């Protein structure tokens, strides 16, 4: 019995270390990509762009890595909730891994979709090679749209699932790796529904801006904190809408 418990604890440690190592590696890669793009930490061009991001073949890996850097940290409460059920239910480490994989598969799918969108925006002349909107009106419209989404029923439903993953697990419980994968896919879909707007806001300040990435990640983590998650969603919408109104006016002046 003692040997089995020790084995389970070792497996838990290895998986969590690998999880956080993947996050650190993703941020390190994003930092190197920003440097290669000639950007500083804020996203301002300060050197030669040695990695133009104008094709799907370049954009998709970039967005996929960005999803790992920004979204995996927000998954910690969900994985912790699954671990709690490993005590009271028949969850396994294989199921834990399945949840993680399913979640990431959905976000990689979103990375492919937004890469196609970015290619289209570049072709239309709406954004530049760094993913920055040419027009303050477009940037303002994006801010207003994402801000308004914070007040929608869709946001409320998706945020509710992301905010309380334990309830999702209880209502959709499946065993084993396959069951974890299925639940991870479902959770990932709700998470995309909750957070897609903050990914789209990359086109306001530049998709390679580490400042934007960091602020967006922190906010998405806070949205999932039980004590404050529901409190900050709508105020954030107000701030985004106000910024969307002020930005074009400021650019005009």
Q: What is the pLDDT of residues 126-159, one digit of tens each?
A: 998 888 898 999 999 999 999 999 999 999 999 9
The whole-number pLDDT of residue 89 equals: 77
Q: Give burial (CB, 10 Å; 0-12/13-18/19+) of 176.
A: middle
Q: Give burial (CB, 10 Å; 0-12/13-18/19+) of 217.
A: buried
Tokens describing residue 168 = 């999702």
Phi, psi of 39 (to 5 degrees): -110, 155
Pick the range with the lowest mean pLDDT from 68-72, 84-88, 120-124, 220-224: 84-88
94 in Cβ contact with 176 (< 8 Å): yes
User: Closest Cα to residue 89, out of 3, 172, 194?
Assistant: 172
Q: How far apart are the C-alpha atoms of 31 and 25, rounded to whole Å?
A: 10
Range of the domain at 131: 2-252
Q: What is the pLDDT of residues 185-202, one digit of tens each?
A: 999 999 999 999 999 999
User: Closest Cα to residue 161, out of 211, 115, 230, 94?
Assistant: 230
Q: How far apart are the C-alpha atoms of 246 and 21, rounded to whole Å?
A: 40
What pTM did the predictor assign?
Answer: 0.90
The domain total for the chain is 1
Top-confidence residue, 61 or 205: 61
Angle among Cα 142, 146, 149 to the nearest 5 degrees reads 140
């Amino acid at each position: 019995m003692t040997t089995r418990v020790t084995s389970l604890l070792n497996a838990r440690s290895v998986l969590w270390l690998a999880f956080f190592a993947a996050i650190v590696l993703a941020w390190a890669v994003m930092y190197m990509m920003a440097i290669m793009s000639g950007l500083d930490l804020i996203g301002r061009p300060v050197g030669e762009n040695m990695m133009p991001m104008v094709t799907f073949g370049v954009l998709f890996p970039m967005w996929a890595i960005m999803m790992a850097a920004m979204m995996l940290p927000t998954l910690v409460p969900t994985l912790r909730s699954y671990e709690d059920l490993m005590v009271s239910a028949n969850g396994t480490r294989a199921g834990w891994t399945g949840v993680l994989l399913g979640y990431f598969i959905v976000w990689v799918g979103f990375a492919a979709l937004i890469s196609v969108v970015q290619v289209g925006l570049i072709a239309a002349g709406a954004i530049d090679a760094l993913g920055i909107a040419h027009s303050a009106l477009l940037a303002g419209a994006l801010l207003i749209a994402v801000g308004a989404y914070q007040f929608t029923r869709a946001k409320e439903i998706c945020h509710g699932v992301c905010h309380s993953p334990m309830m999702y697990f209880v209502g959709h419980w499946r065993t084993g790796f396959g069951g974890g994968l299925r639940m991870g896919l479902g959770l990932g879909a709700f998470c995309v529904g909750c957070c897609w707007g903050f990914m789209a806001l990359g086109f306001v300040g530049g998709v390679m801006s580490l400042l934007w990435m960091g602020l967006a990640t922190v906010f998405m983590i806070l949205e999932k904190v039980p004590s404050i998650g529901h409190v900050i969603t709508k105020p954030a919408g107000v701030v985004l809408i106000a910024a969307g109104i002020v930005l074009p006016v400021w650019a005009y002046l």
